[in-house]
A and B are shown apart, each in its own frame.
Chain A
Amino acid sequence: MNQSGLHARGRDMFGLCCLPGECVLQRAVLVRKKLSPKEGGGWLSGTLFCTHFRVAFVPQDSPRPDDNADPVLLGDHDVALASIEKVVAVGPLRTKLVTPSSSLKFTPEELILYCRDLRVLCFLFDRLTPDTQAVEITYTIAKTYHPLKPGTILSFQNAALGSIEMKQFLSNRRRDSGMNWFESSGDWEQELERTGATGWRVSSVNDRFEMSTSLSRFNVVPQKVLDTELKKTFAHFNEGRIPRWVWRHPHGSDLLRMASFQNNIYHEKDDIRNLELILFGGQSQCIVVDLGDEMPSPADLQLAHTRLRTLCLGDISSSVSVPDDKWLSSLEGTHWLDYIRCCLRKAAEVACLLRRGHLTVVLQEPEDRDMNCVVSSLVQVMCDQHCRTVAGFQALVQKEWVVAGHRFLSRINYHRDSDKEEAPIFLLFLDCVWQLWAQFPARFQLTEDFLLALHDSLHLPLFSTFLANCQRERCRRSQNLPQSYTPVNGLRELPRGSVEEPVDPPYPPVWDWALQYSTQRRALFTQPVCQPSTPAPVLNGNFNTNLGPNWISDGVPGSVFLLSRSLFSCPSNLLPWRSGGGSVSYRKSHRRAPSSESLPALERLIKACGQPDPLQDIHDPHQPLIPLLLGPCVRIWRNCYLRGALHAQAFTHPMSSNARHPVERLASEVEHLRERLAQASVGRPPNRKRHEHRRLDSNLNQNTNNGTFLFSSSSSSSSSSSSSSSSSSSSSSRASQQESPSRFSARPPAAARYRDGGGKHTFLFGHQGEPQSSQRYAPCPGAKLPKNSGPSGAKTH
């Protein structure tokens, strides 16, 4: 195979639709790919390619892609070279880890790609695959995949996005206008309006990143504070990360976040007034939630995640695998689930506090760039159903992570130059969201597939979203940076636009899913059932009606409490300026230490969140999601961490193993449909309804494994809400699309998803001492036999 490649966009003769400028380096024919359980299990025949950007697999008889369609970076069966972590060749007698420098002394029968995102791809070469092809493609992949290190990332990025056509294509792409990007002041105004927050305004005092380099250009502060006053407060906080408003609870409390105080600074009287104004907003009380010492440190998380990866991936080349009977304690030993629980608990506590109304809850973390992101966004996922839609969730990540300056670049460590900084903070957050999803699947519009897509994208160094540590860096790259001045805290920056710097390709945001995923895959990102509409925001934040009378009285206006380790206190040095001598003269600082009677009331609130209310109506769409945190309730995200483990692929059923609450899903769905029926019968305009039906229908094929749709369009108009009638109609509609268990190899991948396991299946018996005679792959009848009948079964032990 030559390296000439195809420079124009075009199709390889074996059906690979290349990106502009993408070169096919090597191909192998008659390869079979092992399908994951979610794809329906079994094997799929086709052609394997290695380009200088990806390893691609094109199934036989796959429909001709439309040549005029927009380029999609990765097909359904592809993996980007940058995602590959390890290449393992399996021969008749041995397995070998193939590195760029190693030589292969046997012809591989099987090729296993271990990926950073915890996928494991397994390809089987056929007897009729020319030996040279099998060897060459293994070599080529091993040589061209990018062990992450400084320098290789750029060439990978260029391979994917660097061609002129691609650059042009990307620069012409429209941003998704359906979500809030939080990049303009209008975006923030919109959020204030959406949440019904009053008393706050958008300040552009940091428009040129002069006040704080890591904060966003626009920050929301109390209306009472003028920009000139505001400017003086930046110096009082680490990195200038002042308290900013991020969200208002429907009950009228406000959520803020900030970095730690700078103690070594003299607090002038006027500063103090402003500082307190900012902390209190318009509220009478303020609770500072300290995330500094009781949350896992980035180093803890990194260690836990590394252990978890090793545990879950297994690795047939190293043969170090945890015996099955020690799985549970090994999993516990990673502490990953403990950290998940810790974050969820903290977020639940904050969510409970916010329910009280009339206060501000300020999340404080020394740097305000890691755990504050996790907790703040989790609180919103729990309390704000808008954040459980795809658009809302993406906006949330923009707001609390991207624009707020989470150090994606250092934490992900794409360039292998910040090993000490590397920590899976964002993955932790995704896992926490998954836990919420798993406990309340019916309350999310987004699905597990969406979370998985985001999880996997994080490992692709292609997206502007993750390729910077703060908004300022992002702006610099896209050359939109306004005239820059020396930052206030003296951080030195390289002179802008230095000529030596290679021009990076324009990075798209990760939210441009059409670049990565086919329409079919993207359709799985949302539930087929429409969510109930968001309640209209309550202006003035006076929604809270269940305040006890004693609450108003026991809270001395101006009280500040500290929540740390689930306990409230009001330490005198909480606000550094209050403990100092300067406070004596200042009028507002007569705010006494808060009465201790109010502490128990607060503590009851916190306890309440540890005891999720069993009365809580799971079907009320407006209740916050307070997760259960008991040992058995926080579990491993199997479809993410265990999807690569070879034994997991024994699933022959397309349904995920831990779809938690089918009944809950069903119930809420029936509820929705009933509501809709009720609406229809009162004579709502039929337009919307028809539209929703169409949506159900269009999802019928794509979303079969969700099992969430119930009614065919014909039956939904007439069906009663009783479960028996609904189940019968669902089974009939599903039965009609059941496919005969014929050869799956001749079927396009999308259709193969719904195979209920055709023919034989492989599985792994769990324990060591068992006879292995019965393990085998069963080739589909008529398919050509692989050279080795049972390559991986015996090795996965």
Chain B
Amino acid sequence: MASAPIPAYSPSPLENSSSQNASRENLKMELLADVALLPGEERIIDKDLIYMCPFNGALKGKVFITNYRLYFRSTDTESTVTLDVPLGNISRIEKMGGASSRGENSYGLDITCKDMRNLRFALKQEGHSRRDLFGEIFKYAFPLSHGQPLFAFLSQEKFEENGWNVYKPMDEYRRQGLPNERWRISFINSNYELCDTYPTILVVPFKATEEDLRRVATFRSRCRIPVLSWIHRDNQAVIMRCSQPLVGMSGKRNKDDERYLDIIREANGTTKLTIYDARPNVNAVANKATGGGYEGDDAYQNAELVFLDIHNIHVMRESLKKLKDIVYPNVEESHWLSSLESTHWLEHIKLVLSGAIQVADKVSSGNSVVVHCSDGWDRTAQLTSLSMLMLDSYFRTFRGFQVLLEKEWIGFGHKFASRIGHGDKNHADQDRSPIFLQFIDCVWQMTKQFPTAFEFNEHFLITVLDHLYSCRFGTFLYNCESVRENYNVRAKTVSLWSLINSSTSIYMNPFYTAESSHVLYPVASMRHLELWVNYYIRWNPRIRHQLPLTLALSPQQTHTRPASLSGFTAGTQGLTNKPHACNLKMINI
């Protein structure tokens, strides 16, 4: 690794003087003295070790483990490097080297994080010095594998606002003008009897009886029947979401399902209902072998089927893995663009976006659409929520976006627990996949192309992603509503929106211009998509990071950081790189 970089200029008066001073004053500091523990957070263990920083080389320091986080602080007197990693972020922890392995700093721990970085710690080889540390991290990073509760259930945090009240399904449907003479609210799923991965309140065609719904459910994978996600106020065209039909090898048909889709088509006089199958054509065909499939031409006469060629969760996972390889710890220098191309990450982003554009365009021209993939909880959620973001300016507001996530992702059962693996030690689980991250990346691409159209800023998106993993809030826990209800998540945990809505100013886009009724079509072309550097490469100190606005603007705030940290951990996460930066030594020349 390169030796400590030299700051070219005098240190910033805002950020670093305070932390440097702090480090000098509290050299023999109290545990976590500069970071207030969260209510409910408890110390577990601490240890002197060496952090093998990929950017600044080996750094002596002390690591503190609580039941929520791993906190490292270097003991370097000149300047301080800190790491503040929620344990939920850890996907894998391994021992590296053995008691007999040679070489300096070859014995220690290697931690793989879910947020695009790896942490290496070296310890003394004598006396199994890493054993207890490894054990505690392993236990508290993967509590579910040890029969322990997630930290969200231990947290005692209190906020001004209760984020669980952000989304009320009835209010949202009412906002869309529902129910009306064509669409009704159905409580058929109030006990999760129709479909255990759907929410309790569903909007279905007025003409379809509860009995119809039950019969349709038999023909849709996991009983995820077509239900309304969004309705166009003026032309009454709708976005319906569902799972694949159970056609199977034999090409089964179901009259009820066919009739049900026709009712949807008739609701606003659409001549041909468009069914968007998010998968590539071949995948859809292959699904017939496992009992799934797609809507055939002859069975659904008044529908046209369009495949959107978006690949499955496994492809996306591998793509992100390749991306990580070229950005962490070092950014591929010589052939950056072709390396980026070979990850296909941006290409997948493009396909998702262009799929959503097609959906939005269809709907805004007055045609109702049905969107599905295989089970209707990954690609379908991406497509419906992105097209709703394009069509409806409400979802581009601060609160509206929270509603969108609550509704399309959390409510309709995106399998967060399986995709993220909260508290689960099985890092190689084939169900894990960065589908939600990919969606947020698409949103970010839109914010880049329409900088005044979104009320929230990049920091907001990064905060959401950080807490996707942190397990500090209940928002993204578990796979669906019914499970969440079983665990009583709303009562026992705090919502992420409580944190965010209690200090909104740092998440706001100052350039936001309220407008309505414009459909935003981003350009889904490689020529206009960009890698989200501030997220994927944020740990690299050679990338200039933007400070959250308030930090940048008020020097005073940095002095109150311990207090404010409990208020926004986004800061801890997003800013961990800054203490990093403090490590730079002035070289006298």
Q: Which residues of A contact B (CB under 8 A)?
A: 324-329, 331-332, 337, 352, 355-356, 439, 546-548, 550-551, 601, 604-605, 607-609, 611-620, 623-624, 626, 628, 630-633, 635, 638, 642, 645, 647-648, 650-653, 655, 657-659, 661-664, 666-667, 670-671, 707, 710, 721-724, 726-727, 730-731, 734-735, 738, 741, 756-758, 760-761, 763-767, 769-771, 774
Contact = CB atoms under 8 A, between A and B. Distances in A.
Contacts of A620: 12
A612 B581 CA distance: 11
A611 B12 contact: no
B264 to A, nearest CB: 19
B89 to A, nearest CB: 22
B514 A735 contact: yes
A633 B533 contact: yes
A760 to B, nearest CB: 8
A723 B508 contact: yes
A2 B503 CA distance: 70
Contacts of A722: 505
8 nearest interchain CB pairs? A631-B336, A611-B5, A614-B581, A332-B337, A617-B12, A328-B341, A329-B338, A613-B7
B313 interface: no
Given A613-B7, A726-B510, A657 B589 contact: no
A623 B8 CA distance: 10
16 contacts: A355-B8, A608-B6, A612-B542, A614-B581, A614-B584, A630-B540, A632-B533, A635-B530, A638-B528, A667-B549, A726-B510, A730-B511, A760-B365, A761-B519, A766-B524, A766-B525
B162 interface: no
B457 interface: yes
Contact of A763 (B337, B510, B521): B521
Q: What's the dominant secondary structure at chain A's contact region? A: loop
Contacts of A324: 350, 525-527
Interface string B493-514: 0000000000011101111111
A657 B449 contact: yes
B21 to A, nearest CB: 14
Contact of A663 (B452, B523, B540, B549): B549
Given A611-B6, A655-B452, A774-B358, A328 B337 contact: yes
B550 A661 contact: no
Contact of B553 (A604, A653, A723, A760): A723
Contact of B335 (A332, A613, A650, A723): A332
Nearest to A721: B553
Given A632-B531, A761-B521, A771-B306, 19 more contacts: A329-B337, A546-B10, A612-B544, A613-B6, A613-B584, A614-B541, A620-B12, A648-B523, A651-B449, A653-B450, A653-B520, A655-B452, A663-B547, A723-B508, A741-B517, A756-B453, A758-B518, A770-B358, A774-B362
B333 A631 contact: yes
Nearest to A705: B452
A653 B512 CA distance: 13
B578 interface: yes
B520 A757 contact: yes
Nearest to B3: A607
Contacts of A623: 9
A615 B581 contact: yes
B589 A550 contact: yes
Contacts, number: 257
Contacts of B526: 324-325, 327-328, 766
Given A601-B589, A770-B354, A645 B550 contact: no
A595 B451 CA distance: 55
Interface residues of B, number: 89
A198 B228 CA distance: 77
Interface in B50-74: none
B515 interface: yes
A767 B5 contact: no
A653 B6 CA distance: 42
A496 B544 CA distance: 56
A131 to B, nearest CB: 32
Contacts of B309: 767, 769-770
Nearest to B333: A631
A628 B5 contact: no
A439 B544 contact: yes
A392 B332 CA distance: 37
Contacts of A662: 451, 509-511
B154 interface: no
A514 to B, nearest CB: 31
Contacts of A651: 449, 523
Interface in B519-560: 519-521, 523-528, 530-531, 533, 537, 540-547, 549-550, 552-553
B257 interface: no
A609 B531 CA distance: 24
Contacts of B577: 614
Interface of B: 2, 5-16, 306, 309, 331-333, 335-338, 340-341, 346-347, 350-351, 354, 357-358, 361-362, 364-365, 448-453, 457, 504-506, 508-515, 517-521, 523-528, 530-531, 533, 537, 540-547, 549-550, 552-553, 577-578, 580-582, 584, 587-589
Contacts of A630: 331, 333, 336, 537, 540, 542-543
A655 B6 CA distance: 37
Listed residue (B332, B518, B582) with the most chain A CB atoms within 10 angstroms of its CB? B518
A631 B340 CA distance: 10
Given A604-B587, A723-B505, A761-B521, A611 B552 contact: no
Contacts of A761: 519, 521
A730 B8 contact: no
Nearest to B546: A663
Contact of A615 (B9, B337, B537, B547): B9
A329 to B, nearest CB: 4
B3 to A, nearest CB: 9
B341 A326 contact: yes
Contact of A631 (B332, B346, B448, B527): B332
Contacts of B451: 655, 659, 662, 707
Given A645-B527, A647-B525, A757-B518, A631 B337 contact: yes
Nearest to A333: B338
Given A328-B340, A723-B549, A727-B508, A617 B515 contact: no
Contacts of B15: 615
Contacts of B520: 652-653, 757
B337 A331 contact: yes
A763 B523 contact: yes
A765 B528 contact: no
Nearest to A653: B450
Nearest to A325: B347
Contacts of A769: 309
Contacts of B509: 662, 727
A325 B349 CA distance: 12
Given A327-B526, A331-B337, A632 B331 contact: yes
A785 B537 CA distance: 49
A738 to B, nearest CB: 6
Contacts of B346: 328
Contact of B8 (A608, A638, A710): A608
Contacts of B513: 731, 734-735, 738, 756
Contacts of B545: 614
A501 B517 CA distance: 63
Given A630-B542, A774-B362, A332 B336 contact: yes
A132 B531 CA distance: 49
A616 B8 contact: yes
Contacts of A756: 453, 513, 515, 518
Nearest to B508: A727
Listed residue (A645, A738, A763) with the most chain B CB atoms within 10 angstroms of its CB? A763
Given A614-B584, A756-B515, A663 B510 contact: yes
Contacts of A635: 530
Nearest to A323: B526
B589 A631 contact: no
